[in-house]
Structure formats: structure tokens, C-alpha cells
Amino acid sequence: MLEFREGGLAYDVLVDPVPDIKELPPCAEDAATFEANARQKALHYSAYADGLVFADDSGISVDALSGAPGVHSARFAGPNATDQANNQKLLGELRRLNSKDRSAHYTCVIALAERGRLLTVVEGRADGLILDHPHGAGGFGYDPLFFYPPLDRTFAELNPEEKFAVSHRGEAFRRLLGYLKARK
């Protein structure tokens, strides 16, 4: 959410959480795809809010791991896994396979809903490589391992504005704004 709030400022768009979201019944993220999870969340939370509500689901897919961790990115090392544990498991899986293929991509799917009705779904993607060791102190999740060749740095080495300009979330958000602009 923080990335969208900060990223929205660059486009003069105010992004706020659904009011009292912590008191609302949680929405399960148990679908098999990023899109299905984003749809579930947008439809669920839009029933509790006036106006437009968007929800995203995102994660990293590693080619050598047949797309894993994918929708399980946040809990790759277990239900309450830390970023460090997830990163260690990812590196362990790649070492176990002894694969030279380190290609990976982040995906972000955003679903937009209003009062329980789905309006659109957009997607963003960022392609990169998984490094053997973390680099950088910024970002979160797999960012210290995700090397982005066009900028010759990991996502964790980018400042928030640089990252949002090239990230999967930034791309999906810009596509959402394009939809909203065309809708007017």
C-alpha cells in the first residue's frame, strides 16, 4: 500500500486505505493466480466502502523454479515467513537445482471494483535476474536479490521513486490510471 500511496503522489492521485480496514473481516488470499486474488480482495473490500476500491496481488516468479514462489511469494518459507527466510529458501532452492538460469519476474495485478462490482483488471511486470547474494538496503521482500539489468542495480538499491518508475507495481498503477482517465 505504501508504494501506491507514494507513487500516486507523482501523479497527483491520493491513495488511501479502505476506512477501518483493520476492523473488517479479512479476505482470504487463497486463489491460484495473482489475478484471482486481486479480484477477490477488490470485490470483498469494495462492499464495505463508498467509491472506487482497488486491490493488488503481486509476487516473484523464478523460471528455474517453474514460476515459484508465484502467488506464494509472501509465505514461500512458511505461513509467517520473514523476508529473510523467504530469500534464504529461494536461494536454497536455486542452489539445490544447480541451475544457471536466474531469470525471474515480478508480477502485480490490480483489480478495481465499486460496491461489489468489478470494473477492470490491469497487470504490470518487471523482468530481472536473481543474484546469489543480497545487495542493497531498500525495498522489501525479494528486492535485495532481484537485479534489474536496465538500471544495473537491484530493486533494493533503488530509491522509492526510481523503483516505482520501473517496477511491476508502478506499471500496473499507471495502467490503472490510464483506465480511469479513459473512463471520464
Query: CATH number of the domain that 144 lies in?
Result: 3.90.950.10
pLDDT value of position 156: 98
Question: Residue 12: which domain range?
Answer: 2-183
Nearest to 158 by CA among 171, 170, 168, 148: 148
Q: Give the number of C-alpha atoms closer than 13 A to the C-alpha of residue 79, restricted to the C-beta side.
A: 2
Q: What is the pLDDT of residue 3?
A: 73
Reduced to 3 states (helix: H, G, I; strand: E, B; else coil), residue 115 is coil
The rounded average pLDDT for each run of 10 residues, N- to C-terminus, in the chain (184 residues) is: 64 76 90 98 95 96 98 96 98 93 97 97 98 95 98 97 95 95 85
User: How distant, in Å, are the alpha carbons of 27, 43, 45, 128 from that of 149?
Assistant: 36, 36, 37, 6
Distance between CA atoms of 135 and 147, rounded to whole angstroms?
9
In this prediction, residue 7 carries a pLDDT of 63
Active site residues: 57
- Work out how many domains the chain is built from and give that number: 1
